[in-house]
Structure 1
């Protein structure tokens, strides 16, 4: 039986907060954007259930992968700068040596208070390991004893994630070849495929050359025949992967100037990508704001950000009402403007707190802004995880914040005389963590 929080202005705020947090913790989340893969895509770390490690495997997991994640690589160079340990020397280290270096300087010699460091601690704790042991070799031993396939279930249970959405980059030779070699490589029902094709919109000349090499008649100045070939290419890979939506990551300089825009990227987007997705009733995810290679010596850890152009998103939503756009922007300064835009377009779903925004103070701010402008009609978080176990801490930390904001909003309307039941709370939690995304990609 559902109980109702009293509409008295003296509602117990502490009790309300606990109740909301318990409900959020118990609600399964669909992680709508990650860079994770099942063991069928190969794993560099061979557990007891794996026949052999695959050096180029795409399923990244284990303590060494957690410690050498690019957030921590960038952070360790703040502590041991390149004049002490040159970048090239760090990259020549083995994965284990890099992890040892990061563990020593960020965890043992300093207090690990950053969000990336705290995330490692939360993950160890939730998987049943004791962070207080500070026993890196012991953690390694535990991970190598795990069967990679079974470990996915353990991590999903620890994180409260019921399904993981992949990022399947058709222009990545390693991944592409796996799909071509084994058509069933993406059939693990715990993982949902997503087709990613950044070069189509970010570097058309290179994409055209690659398409031609794969047997599609593409040219640098796309003709009607070339547009048809791009659509054939997309259809072939949508069929092969069974993608539930498509995605691109775009630089802050991305602009869409309307139906008369003659930029090649706009022509490809307008005449090939969006019509194909509309025909198939598939959504398009736009992740905008990455400034690549601010410090190229840091590799992927050297990327930065700038503000995106929200007016381009509004024009896309206006010009293509039959398409649906999931949008996340990397700059904090863009977040209010994006939330306002979402009030104007029902084919726009703001999602997640991406990359540099995935810090508690900013997650809370963004969630409050969105909830105050959009109610519960958005997707508050995604993990963007590249290492399997990262979903444990990213969802644990985010659930606490989402619950805090939601409890505050319930208290506000209770004071205004509107009662809130447990059923209301469970419905809202399910919408935020699962159903808003599921319904949006399904076109409902």
Structure 2
């Protein structure tokens, strides 16, 4: 291998590609940002991200050290005493990048000796919207998609910047809970009493969300969920029983969940919205864990269970995320075959460089470039978007430099074309701005 061989030049080439990618605006198609308070007002709101609390707890920190009743500074100080145990993780690298980029931190570790000054630097409660704007501009954001409960009033923010997304977990998985029906009635004005009323209410939700600028519907589903074509007549009695708060048999729960889910897919078809599927989490596996650190996954997920959905709704785009890292090969295969299935981002436990690199390599080698939806932040505060996207862009640059340029002789322009499709152009096209009737605006 010569000194100037393609493989030798790959790291330098990757740096050049990364430099160009960093010039592009960030289009973030999934987050948990609060549009009324998008950036962190103090360091507790950064360290309170579930990654840090769950990693600290798993390495020995009592859950009581981050209890909500503690003062914010005390929680931050308690976590700072534990950060040395997790400074090998990629999540720690996000924290250091946030501290350096937004708060002028110069070190490479945060501990008890640094937390006081850093906490003071990160206090921005008085800055309010001005701080939100500084973080937005420093991150070079174009759009951030939200996670909005179905009864969110969708008022008080710029919906072209912070884009609403109808999250539907409660409708599908918790319709039997009285509070869900109460919320649905209040949000739609429909006196939901049966299947027809339920469908009318769901349609009204879509009408309101689309009128407010929503560009997607989304749901997180457990690994044992299996979509089936709705049978309205068979669902009549289970839905009435659920609405009335009566006890349900397991098969009745399944019937209700399947019917509501199928209704959502029909509405996505009618209103022209993509339906984001986030598949795999099992809730509350570790009840003694810290908030946000109780859910896991197993290997029961199979997209084969979704075949009827993908076939029936050929006109609906399904951006799909799978939680289990070893589900990546199946997602590549379904994206390879189905025109309406797109691999989207790298979610939660799969969002570490080792798993991203393997999935990304397979997607670039096997999935048409016009279908790649590269990344989303899943962030709860704006500050996390930049370090997370930087992590992904570095891996993308390294993968394109090695797999495309070194091995296949691509030019830098060709590699950047693929990168820009994955990061910017495809998300813009898949999630376009829509008119009041749900039609993509031109």
TM bucket, shorter chain: 0.7 to 0.9
2-side partners of 1:363 and 1:61: how far apart? 31
2-side partners of 1:76 and 1:186: how far apart? 34
Structure 1 partner of 2:192? 218
Task: Provide Cα deviations, 1:367-409, integer angstroms capped at 9, x if missing partner.
Answer: 1111111142311211100122111210111111111111112
Structure 2 partner of 1:385? 379
Q: Which runs of 5+ in 1 are unaligned?
A: 1-7, 44-57
Indicate yes or no: 2:78 matched with 1:105: no
Indicate yes or no: 2:31 matched with 1:34: yes
2-side partners of 1:281 and 1:155: how far apart? 32
2-side partners of 1:190 and 1:229: how far apart? 27
Task: Provide Cα deviations, 1:23-75, integer angstroms capped at 9, x if missing partner.
Answer: 2222222011011133xx2x4xxxxxxxxxxxxxx764532111121111111
Q: 1:231·1:276 contact (CA, 8 Å) conserved in 2?
A: yes
Structure 1 partner of 2:251? none
Q: 1:195·1:246 contact (CA, 8 Å) conserved in 2?
A: yes
Q: 1:63 aligns with which of 12, 28, 43?
A: 43
Indicate yes or no: 2:144 matched with 1:164: yes
Secondary structure, counterpart of 1:296 in structure 2 = coil
Q: Which runs of 5+ in 2 are unaligned?
A: 236-254, 433-439
Indicate yes or no: 2:265 matched with 1:274: yes
Secondary structure, counterpart of 2:320 in structure 1 = strand
Q: 1:411 aligns with which of 402, 405, 413?
A: 405
Q: 2:105 aligns with which of 130, 140, 145?
A: 130
Q: 2:90 aligns with which of 101, 115, 131?
A: 115
Structure 1 partner of 2:204? 232
- Per the normalisation by structure 2, the TM-score is 0.82
Structure 2 partner of 1:141? 120
Q: 1:62·1:389 contact (CA, 8 Å) conserved in 2?
A: no
Answer with 295-304 or 98-107: which moved more: 295-304
Q: 1:16·1:407 contact (CA, 8 Å) conserved in 2?
A: yes
Secondary structure, counterpart of 1:389 in structure 2 = helix
Q: 2:55 aligns with which of 70, 75, 88?
A: 75
Task: Provide Cα deviations, 1:151-190, integer angstroms capped at 9, x if missing partner.
Answer: 333323443432211111134xxxx3x54xxx4x132542
Distance 1:9 1:170, change over 3 A: closer
Structure 2 partner of 1:372? 365
- Per the normalisation by structure 1, the TM-score is 0.82
2-side partners of 1:12 and 1:106: how far apart? 36
Structure 2 partner of 1:320? 313
1-side partners of 2:306 and 2:345: how far apart? 17
Q: 1:294 aligns with which of 285, 300, 303?
A: 285
Task: Provide Cα deviations, 1:66-120, integer angstroms capped at 9, x if missing partner.
Answer: 1121111111122335xxx46488444223211111111214xx46111222210
Q: 1:9·1:414 contact (CA, 8 Å) conserved in 2?
A: no
Indicate yes or no: 2:199 matched with 1:208: no
- Please show how residues 185-204 of structure 1 align to structure 2 within 5 Å: 185-187=156-158, 189-204=160-175
| Greater RCO (Cα-Cα under 8 Å, separation 6 or more) | 1
- Please show how residues 9-24 of structure 1 align to structure 2 within 5 Å: 12-24=9-21
Matched pairs, number: 398
Distance 1:398 1:281, change over 3 A: same
2-side partners of 1:193 and 1:225: how far apart? 25
Structure 2 partner of 1:48? none
Distance 1:147 1:92, change over 3 A: closer
Indicate yes or no: 2:229 matched with 1:252: no
- Distance apart, 1:441 and its partner CA: 2.3
Secondary structure, counterpart of 1:322 in structure 2 = coil
Structure 2 partner of 1:50? none
Coordinate RMSD, CA, aligned: 2.7
Indicate yes or no: 2:340 matched with 1:340: no
Distance 1:421 1:76, change over 3 A: closer
